[in-house]
Structure 1
Amino acid sequence: MGNKLKAAAWGTRLALKINKPMIVFWLLLSVLLAVLPAVILFFYRSILGQISVFISAGTGSFNAVIPSILIMGAILTVSGISARLNDDFLYMVMFDAYYLGLEETMMDSAQRIPLSELSKKKTADEYFAVISRCGSLTDLTSSGCVLISKLVGIVSFLAVALSISAFIFCITLAYVVLSIALNLFNSGKNQVVWSVIREHLHHADYFEKLPQNGDTAKEIRIYEAAEGIKKQWNKAYAKVEEMEMRKNKGRARLNTVLETGFYIFMGIILLYCISAAGAGRMGPDTILMIISLCAGTAAAVSGISRSWHQLDYGLYGLDIQRRFFSNTPKVDPEEDGKKTDEPGNGDIIFELKNVSFAYNDEAPVLDNLSLRIRKGETLALVGINGAGKTTLIKILLGLLKPDSGEVLFMGKPYDAYKHGLINRRAGAFFQDFYLFHFTVQENVGIGNVGQVENEQMVLEAMDKGGALPLLRKLPGGLTTMVNRNVEKAGVVFSGGEGQRIAVSRTHMSDKEILIFDEPSSMLDPIAEMEQFSQIRNTAGGRTVILVSHRISFARLADRIVVLSGGGIAEQGVHDELINRNGLYAQFFHEQAQWYKTDSSGDQP
């Protein structure tokens, strides 16, 4: 319950910050309409009393009752509107303000989370859960308004009950308290169910989307794995259905208990009314008023179950979001403002001192590694798969934090600089690049957002990235859509073509440091050398870091660093390392032999 209260307080503050007038207006209107049914009861009793006296004693005038009837009719008409102010209606009204508002707030908050933190799998998984529940704030505001209005309505009915009889008040209060207690108990059980459902839904969603992806669908078809994938999905979704069934059965049992409670409540009330009428203490007007009171109270209480269920679901999502943004390290704007945006002087761009890093509890990928990278230098990082090349550049870019050791940029620790300074100075291509469902121009131009509309700059970047020849076969040139997520007329590039687009994006960034991680892994050997030559020739005094497990390109670099066993095995220029006949020479000759043939034309 403590976490729910914290989530409710956090969500309320957030809702008021996003759109205060909306929640205040609908809350006040809902409360006002909720009181009207109790007000109607007093008019109802007054009218029945006057008519009863007129019929039995012949005193009074029927015309005297007409104003009260008209007033009650007007109130009934307005009160009828309150039936429309249910959870679904308010959710629809508040959706744009609070769903999109929460989504925007969360994305803004995520921008203050360091990339080194967002790169962690645990943080990324939690963020996925957080961003997928943007409706939680709308659940809180809509069902919260309805729930508060129903509680106000119940209190007003209790006030009417107290005005009639202490016994009626006590029985009505007992029924209300018991009903609310049962709702609270059931919501506690549902919260456990929701957390389990979320886990299994995530699992089922993975298998469901496999056939929807072109690459995985191809693999599934080739290896005839459809039945296996379907079986895995059924297994995961069976758990979801089981938990949903348990949740629905719980709600059905709750409704049955509440209905039974209502009949017991009505039975006790009717017995009391019969007894009081027999003793002459209660007239027909009061009896009819009490019956209407019981019906109105029951209607308000029965609505609580659905509203509470939706509110509880919203609080569950808000609590996950609250804890994520409270516990995940973020950049403090005030503290960040005190840091420098000016790099230090010197010839060394990056310096690593005794850096070690491991993923989770695995063996270290980097172990006590030290390295200096000079300004204007073209550096080649080579090594077998898993040697730590990509890990090293992610540490240089601040995407990962070392477990030990120190990393300096222009002579200062990364923490000495303002948030995002490294990203503003370094452009990077990663082997797991992503092409957006944008135009070709936008896919390249996003490397330098301020110049997306600069067609000439985009064309120059595509020329440097080797992607310019692709334009000749595109129907719309730069305006051709990439992929077919929405627009089915989009073009789907091959792996090598997509790689050229992504490399062009890095050139578009036009930053002083350029890092390329396996920029030619999908290219043929000739295209690969052309790619690296183009990078080398267009560096223009920039610091360039080239990464590949294929080392034929390395001879183009000013310096070659060979990674092995978590450290630097050797470093130098191509000819020097070949003459040493060490690990680099071994890699080079082993890869080169596959491009050689003997006199018969066969491979050795």
Structure 2
Amino acid sequence: MKPVAAPKNNVDKNMLGVFRYSRRAIELVWKTSPALTIGLAIATLIAGILPAAMAYVGQLIVDAVLAAIDIYKQEQVFHYQTALNYVVLEGILVLIIAASQRALTAQQAILQGLLGHKVNMLILEKAQTLTLSHFEDSEFYDKLVRARREASSRPLALVNKTFALLQNAISLSSFAVLLWHFSPWALILLVCGALPSFIAEAKFSGAAFLMFRWRSPEVRQQNYLETLLAREDHIKEVRLYQLGGRFLQRYADIFQKLFKESKRLILRRESWGFVLGVISTLVFYGAYGWIVSDTIIGAITLGQMTMYLLLFKQGQSAVSASLTAISGMYEDNLYLSNLYEYLEQETSSSITGLTTEPKPNDGIRFEQVSFQYPGSQTAALSGINLHIKPGQSLAIVGENGSGKTTLIKLLTRLYRPTQGRILLDGLDLTEWGEAALLKRVGVIFQDFVRYQLIVGENIGAGDNDRFQDESGWQKAAELGKATDFIDQLENGYKTQLGRWFKDGQELSGGQWQKIALARAFMREEADILVLDEPTAAMDAQAEASIFEHFQEHTKDKMAILISHRFSTVRLAHEIIVMEHGEIKERGTHEALLAQQGQYAHLFKLQAQGYR
């Protein structure tokens, strides 16, 4: 897959500031748990200082043993006891280092869980401030997928590498003091021996990140195919049309494409890592030979040789780990850019606003409203003018794609008009506070959600303030004509719906629609009720009963009905016929029949089906 300009520029920008997100990551971890962050710092400090102390004690042990061997027997007891004391001291240091490492591991594991939850909460909370257009934008959805995939673990990974860098810096400082007594050149060799590994890591970190960004669409396709092949609401049709083999093959093809790219990158990274690792090994063994030679000629003691070899080996590992940590921090910064790019997505200020209307009971007004979906070249709505007063009902008819549901999305402020404005009681919808506006609206979309919750909660979802109000459930169910089957369920309103969880019970399409209708009635304060194809899965008798009931209980409300069944829409005070995003006809049922236009034509076609 060829790289694109935008991600490349983004990577270049991050290369100029390896630590761009380090401060923010540390702040995020600190806010998650100050106590654990301090604990990490203390354990890191201990783990950084003690290795050098252990190496020095190791020298003292060897020298004490050699002294005890070389001197007269009467003095052996003293040096023997001294050597044993050093052994005990080294054992204590080993225990302290082991405890600090365990403390680091435990605290990191606990922080991982807490931080993962916190970041996921940030992502989900941000999602609640986004508009519907964000979720319908494939590029933005890729951004969301990238943020969720690894950003929950990367902040802690970045902080861990920061502490690891600090630990290694402390260790190297103590190593440097001891190695300086051997030769300043040893320090230079120490750094040079670790550079090749760093070069190998840094070279491929950016490439891995770019591959991660480019893959987002393919990964989403794989996830979607998994959903088709393993979800109960899709598997029926997949099995019926024998699509399983085709979708599995498509899934495998995407995997093979991604696997080839990953394999190529892995082989290149490991090959370069081996070649450059050979250089590091040669440098280390060169220093090894130098130290051994100095020991043979008597320039240093055997104990010093042991210490210097240990210091050089651990020092080289510390330098390599430090450089690798810096490389990893760069990579973590790249991944964290996905998270903060998502969290910093601009959103319209729709939460706060006015809560009182300048013209009470004026109703809903559409004034020259037009709308065009992002990226579309044609208008979904054009020049819509409407006025719905309290106590009036409006029916909307038209072919699929004529703009009926789009109009409802604008009314519920899921979208904002491209041109014109929508008023509720004299106040532009954009000026209403979101909570105050949405309390006045009850909606059933044709693709309503079938919550995998108990019956009562499925209904209670219509009013979050009364989500657990059992008396409210029953009242709403009566208004939605859902009590006829709820009362027959073994656990009534406590019955688990859907097949995702234990003892779940599936409903018919018509029963689900009655649950959705009850959900709309749950919002008692709502004076705007919108039903978008609410009875498509019901039989004619049930539909007639529902709408007779609906008319009776919405006399003082503004009701908007979208339906293809003319036996239903004929009861509305006004009917509009939409075509290509425009209102072509409007009037009562009788007036539209008299016009002999599109409505009359469609009505006659449908009436013939019942003869």
TM exceeding 0.5: yes
User: Cα distance 1:94–1:352, how it changes in 2: closer, same or farther (>3 A)?
Assistant: same
1:477 to 479, 492, 502: 492
Which residue number corresponds to residue 241 of structure 2? Answer: 223
Residue 549 to residue 502, structure 1, CA distance change in 2 (3 Å): same
Does 2:222 align with 1:201? Answer: no
Contact 2:291 2:309 in 1 (8 A): no
Deviations 1:436-463 (A, max 9, x none): 1110011101111232333222122112
2:511 is the alignment partner of 1:497: yes
Q: 1:443 aligns with which of 429, 448, 458?
A: 458
Aligned match of 1:109: 126
Quote the Cα distance in structure 1 between the aligned partners of 2:531 and 2:154. 41
Q: 2:153 aligns with which of 135, 160, 176?
A: 135
Task: Report matched runs for 1:255-274 at 5 Å.
Answer: 255-257=273-275, 259-274=277-292
Is residue 92 of structure 2 the alignment partner of residue 48 of structure 1?
no
Amino acid at match of 1:18: T
TM-score, normalized by length of structure 2?
Answer: 0.89
Compute the displacement of 1:349 (Å). 2.6
Alpha-carbon shift at residue 118 of structure 1 (Å): 4.7
Deviation at 1:480, TM superposition (A): 0.6
Output one character per residue of 1:486-523: Cα deviation in whole Å (capped at 9) or x when no partner.
Answer: 21x11111222111111111111121211111101112
User: Does residue 110 of structure 2 align to residue 96 of structure 1?
Assistant: no
Equivalent residue in structure 2 for 1:365, among 373, 380, 387: 380
| Distance in 2 between residues matched to 1:169 and 1:132, nearest whole Å | 41
Structure 2 match to 1:232? 250
The amino acid across from 2:32 in the alignment is I
- Number of the residue aligned with 2:3: none
Q: Distance in 2 between matches of 1:84 and 1:186?
A: 31
How far did residue 526 of structure 1 move?
2.4
Distance 1:247 1:91 in 2: 29
Per-residue Cα deviation, 1:312-364 (whole angstroms, up to 9, x for no partner): 6654442111011213325398xx4xx32222224433222222222222421
Alpha-carbon shift at residue 54 of structure 1 (Å): 3.9
Q: Residue 286 of structure 1: which of 290, 304, 314 is its match? A: 304
Structural mapping, 1:392-431, within 5 Å: 392-431=407-446
Aligned mates of 2:142, 2:488 — CA distance in 1: 40
- Secondary structure, counterpart of 1:342 in structure 2: coil
SS at match of 1:12: helix
Contact 1:379 1:558 in 2 (8 A): yes
For residues 4 and 376 of structure 1, what CA distance do their matches in structure 2 show? Answer: 63
- Shift of the 314–534 alpha-carbon distance from structure 1 to 2, 3 Å rule, reads farther
Contact 1:193 1:247 in 2 (8 A): no
Trace 1:295-334 onto structure 2 (pairs within 5 A). Answer: 295-300=313-318, 314-329=332-347, 331=349
In structure 1, what residue type is equivalent to 2:506? V
Shift of 1:264: 1.0
d(CA) in 2 for partners of 1:71 and 1:526? 90
Is the partner of 2:250 in helix, strand or coil? helix
Task: Write the distance in 2 (CA, Å) between the matches of 1:216 and 1:415.
Answer: 38
Say whether the 8 Å CA contact 2:195–2:320 is kept in structure 1.
no
- Name the CA shift for 1:201/1:127 in 2 (closer, same or farther; >3 Å): closer
SS in 2 for 1:6: coil
- Confirm or deny: 8 A CA contact 1:427 1:515 kept in the other structure: yes
**Residue deviations 1:282-341 (CA, integer Å, cap 9, x gap):** 2222211121113323444565698678756654442111011213325398xx4xx322
Asked if 1:555 is matched to 2:570, the reply is: yes
Q: Of 36, 39, 64, which aligns to 1:22?
A: 36
> Shift of the alpha carbon at 1:216?
2.3
Distance in 2 between the 1:416 and 1:404 partners? Answer: 16
Unaligned runs of 5+ in 2: 1-14
| Amino acid of the structure 2 residue aligned with 1:296 | Q
8 Å contact kept, 2:232–2:499 = no
Whichever residue aligns with residue 26 of structure 2, its letter is T
Offset at 1:92? 2.4
Give 2:535's match in structure 1, choosing from 516, 520, 526: 520
SS in 1 for 2:537: coil
Distance 1:459 1:277 in 2: 91
2:403 alignment partner in structure 1: 388
Instruction: Measure the CA separation in 2 of the matches of 1:413 and 1:365.
Output: 21
Q: How far 1:95 sits from its partner (Å)?
A: 2.5
Does the residue aligned with 1:5 lie in a helix, a strand or coil?
A: coil
The separation in 1 between residues aligned to 2:174 and 2:481, in whole angstroms, is 75
Say whether 1:8 aligns with 2:8.
no
Aligned: 1:167 with 2:182:
no
8 Å contact 2:190–2:319 — kept in the other structure?
no
Aligned to 1:126: 143
Matched, 1:578 2:593: yes
Q: Which moved more, 1:68-77 or 1:250-259?
A: 250-259
Shift of 1:147: 4.7
Work out the CA distance in 2 between the residues paired with 1:151 and 1:85: 20
Deviation of 1:12 (Å): 2.3
Change in Cα spacing, 1:67 to 1:514, as seen in structure 2 (3 Å) is same
Query: How many angstroms does 1:214 deviate by?
Result: 2.4
Measured in 2, the distance between the counterparts of 1:329 and 1:3 equals 27
Question: Deviation of residue 485 (structure 1)?
Answer: 0.9
Match in the other structure for 1:459: 474
CA distance in 2 between counterparts of 1:114 and 1:202 reads 21
Contact 1:113–1:331 (8 Å) recurs in 2? no
More moved, 561-570 vs 237-246: 237-246
Residues 357 and 155 (structure 1), Cα distance of their counterparts in 2 relative to 1, 3 Å cut? farther
SS at match of 1:544: strand
Provide the residue aligned with 2:46 in structure 1: 32
CA contact 1:447–1:506 (8 Å) conserved in 2: yes
Answer yes or no: is 1:567 the counterpart of 2:582.
yes
Q: Aligned with 1:515: secondary structure?
A: strand
Letter in 1 for 2:111: M
2:201 alignment partner in structure 1: 183
Counterpart residue number, 2:7: none
Specify whether residues 19 and 149 from structure 1 end up closer, same or farther in structure 2 by C-alpha distance, changes over 3 A only. Answer: same
Counterpart secondary structure, 1:437? coil
In 2 relative to 1, CA 534–228 (structure 1 residues): closer, same or farther, beyond 3 Å?
Answer: same
Structure 1 residues 475, 254: closer, same or farther in 2, change over 3 A? farther
1:352 equivalent in structure 2: 366
> 1: CA distance between counterparts of 2:29 and 2:349?
23
Q: What whole-Å deviation, never above 9, does each CA across 1:189-246 have from its counterpart, x for those lacking one?
A: 2212222344322222211221212242122222222221111111111123223323
Of stretches 395-404 and 454-463 in structure 1, the one that deviates more from structure 2 is 454-463
C-alpha spacing 1:151/1:185, structure 2 compared with 1 (3 Å): farther
CA distance in 1 between partners of 2:27 and 2:363 (Å): 45
Which residue of 1 is the match for residue 4 of structure 2? none
Distance 1:203 1:154 in 2: 48
CA distance in 2: counterparts of 1:197 and 1:162, whole angstroms? 49
Give 1:365's aligned amino acid. Answer: A
Shift of 1:175: 2.0
Query: 1:569 deviation in Å?
Result: 0.8
CA distance, structure 1, for counterparts of residue 329 and residue 501 of structure 2: 34
Deviations 1:233-288 (A, max 9, x none): 11111123223323433453355246423321222102322443355422222211
Structure 1: segments with no counterpart, 5+ residues? 597-604
TM-score by length of 1: 0.90
The AA in structure 2 aligned to 1:230 is L
Deviation at 1:481, TM superposition (A): 0.2
For residues 409 and 160 of structure 1, what CA distance do their matches in structure 2 show? 79
Q: CA deviation at 1:538?
A: 1.1
Shift of 1:482: 0.5
Rounded to whole Å, the distance in 2 between the matches of 1:308 and 1:476 is 59
Residue deviations 1:2-60 (CA, integer Å, cap 9, x gap): 57533333322222222222122113212321321112112222333333344345578
Question: Secondary structure at 1:466's aligned position in 2?
Answer: coil
